[in-house]
């Protein structure tokens, strides 16, 4: 039961003032600008855009500043802002095959058309603190080489040619949108992918890891991981044709998974898919693994009762804003609820004679 309480306005105002002061920190230290956050904490900005479901690096950077670096709080701010925007329409599905790749690697094929491009990765760095960064320092410019002009086709396309992997055939069904209609079960793959791309990175990583450790194991290889920019095209009703309205950076992960075949399908490889706003590699790989685990039913696999196979469990708990809202509300006043619980416990103790026993002991 919820009961309104009054009072505390002055305390709340003062708490806000102190919060603002703490956010600023020591005023003898230079203040962070939104542009500095956007440029220098870009992976945090990317996470806020992905989980906030809104691609706008400046807004995400502002949210991070306002939230004092608490990314879930920043995501909350972005989600709230997003609801105030009128929606002009939906884009044409982006063509990730035409991505201008900053990074593109495959764990399944060494030599592939377009080549392996490492990009700006942490992968081969020593995980040792670099004390040079603690002092201001100029960064040497990254080397360049003549850029390739050849196409960078999807790796799964090669396997497709031999029929060794299930196909992902185009389809133009308008997808459901969980930001417009409540999430309902059973959720089709389009709805699951939307929920996963905005899901909490930590939760999705944990579930993905559980599938690797044996809870719904499906032997994933990263067929391809690519990061880069794609143009976004939208049909403009008053013009009658589509134009590019901008471009977004995306991370795409396609996994290739073992599949022993079913009554209707011969043995072949199956696919898991991850596509996330920004450079968000860990999240995209996690998404692909969880997507694949959730596909057990359509692939005719056994449900082994693993958490990552349970669409209802995964989708209803993956959203960190829903989760944090419900979790954190329990710290707000529940005086009446607690009062009734207190009465109940006292009554039960009286009935059990607990107080008598205590008296006797004294």
Partner 1 sequence: MQADILTGGFADPAHQSAQAFRHVMEAMARPGTIHALAGAVPPAPLSPAAGALLLMLCDTETPLYLAGELDCEAVRAWIAFHTGAPLVAPGQALFAIGTWNALMPLSAYPIGTSDYPDRAATLIVECHHLTASGATLTGPGIEKTASLSLPDLRAFQDNHAQFPLGLDFFFTCGDRLAALPRSTEVR
Partner 2 sequence: MKDTAQTENPRQIWMSLLARASEGRIAALLDAALDRPGFTWLRAPEIGSTMVRGRAGGTGAPFNLGEMTVTRCALTLESGEVGHAYIQGRRKADAEAAALIDALMQTEAADHIHARVLDPLAAEQAATRAARAGKAAATKVDFFTLVRGED
Q: Which residues lie near partner 1 (CB under 8 A)?
A: 86-90, 180, 237-239
- For partner 2, the closer CB: 297 or 341: 297
Identify whether 136 is preceded by a cis peptide bond (ω within 30 of 0). no
User: CB of 236: closest distance to partner 2 in angstroms?
Assistant: 6
CA 266 to CA 247: how far, in whole Å?
A: 40
Q: How far is the CB of 59 from partner 2 (least distance, A)?
A: 7
Helix axes 281-294, 201-212, angle to 10 degrees: 60
> Given the complex with partner 2, which of 27 and 83 has the nearer CB atom?
83
- Separation CA 322–CA 318 (nearest Å): 8
Residue 172 touches which member of partner 2, partner 1, none, C-beta under 5-8 Å by kind: partner 2
Please identify, using beta-carbon distances, which residue of 190 and 215 lies nearer to partner 2: 190
CB of 89 to partner 1, least distance (A): 5
The answer to whether 123 contacts partner 2 (rule: CB under 8 A) is no
User: In terms of C-beta distances under 8 Å and separation of at least 24 residues, what long-range contacts does 149-153 make, across chains too?
Assistant: 150/113, 150/114, 151/113, 151/114, 152/97, 152/99, 152/101, 152/104, 152/113, 152/114, 152/226, 153/97, 153/113, 153/114
Among 83, 51, 64, residue whose Cα is nearest residue 318:
51
Q: Is 299 left (phi over 0), alpha (psi -120 to 50) or beta?
A: alpha
Residue with tokens 């905005």: 198
Residue whose C-alpha is closest to residue 44's, from 13, 78, 9, 6: 78
- In the complex, the smallest distance separating the C-beta of residue 332 from partner 2, rounded to whole angstroms, is 30
Residues 68-87 that bind partner 2 (CB under 8 A): 82, 85-87
Could you tell me which of 160, 149, 142, 152 has the C-alpha nearest to residue 104? 152
50 binds, among partner 1, partner 2, none (CB under 5 to 8 A by kind): partner 2
Of 156 and 210, CB closest to partner 2: 156
Closest CB to partner 2 among residues 90, 352:
90
The residue within the footprint of partner 2, chosen from 66, 102, 299, 334 (CB under 8 A), is 102
| Least spacing, CB of residue 238 vs partner 1, in Å | 4
Q: Which of residues 132-191 bind partner 2 (CB under 8 A)?
A: 142-148, 154, 156, 168-179, 189-191
Residue whose CB is less far from partner 1, 58 or 235? 235
Question: Per CB under 8 A, which of residues 281..340 are in contact with partner 2?
Answer: none
Count of residues interacting with partner 2 (CB under 8 A): 85
């Amino acid at each position: 039961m919820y009961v309104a309480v009054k009072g505390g306005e002055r305390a709340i105002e003062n708490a806000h003032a102190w919060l603002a002061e703490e956010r600023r920190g020591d005023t003898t230290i230079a203040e962070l600008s939104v542009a500095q956050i956007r440029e220098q904490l870009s992976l945090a900005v990317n996470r806020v855009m992905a989980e906030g479901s809104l691609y706008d690096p400046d807004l995400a950077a502002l949210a991070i500043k306002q939230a004092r670096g608490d990314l879930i709080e920043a995501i909350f701010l972005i989600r709230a802002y997003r609801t105030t925007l009128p929606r002009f329409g939906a884009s044409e599905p982006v063509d990730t095959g035409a991505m201008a790749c900053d990074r593109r690697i495959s764990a399944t094929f060494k030599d592939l058309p377009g080549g392996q491009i490492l990009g700006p990765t942490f992968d081969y760095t020593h995980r040792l603190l670099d004390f040079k960064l603690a002092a201001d320092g100029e960064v040497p410019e990254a080397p360049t080489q003549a850029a390739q002009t050849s196409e960078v086709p999807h790796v799964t396309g090669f396997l497709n040619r031999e029929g060794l992997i299930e196909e992902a055939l185009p389809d133009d069904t308008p997808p459901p949108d969980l930001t417009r209609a409540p999430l309902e079960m059973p959720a089709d793959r389009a709805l699951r992918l939307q929920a996963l791309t905005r899901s909490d990175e930590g939760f999705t990583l944990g579930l993905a890891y559980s599938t690797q450790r044996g809870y719904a194991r499906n032997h994933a290889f990263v067929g391809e991981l690519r990061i880069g920019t794609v143009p976004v095209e939208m049909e403009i009703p008053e013009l009658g044709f589509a134009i590019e309205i901008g471009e977004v950076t995306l991370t795409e992960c396609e996994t290739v998974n073992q599949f022993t075949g079913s009554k209707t399908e011969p043995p072949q490889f199956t696919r898991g898919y991850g596509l996330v706003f920004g450079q968000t590699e860990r999240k995209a790989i996690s998404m692909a693994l969880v997507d694949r685990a959730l596909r057990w039913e359509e692939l005719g696999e056994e449900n082994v009762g693993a958490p990552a196979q349970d669409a209802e469990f995964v989708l209803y708990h993956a959203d960190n804003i829903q989760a944090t809202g419900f979790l954190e509300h329990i710290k707000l006043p529940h005086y009446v609820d607690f009062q009734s619980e207190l009465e109940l416990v006292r009554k039960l103790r009286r009935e059990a004679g607990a107080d008598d026993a205590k008296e006797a002991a004294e």
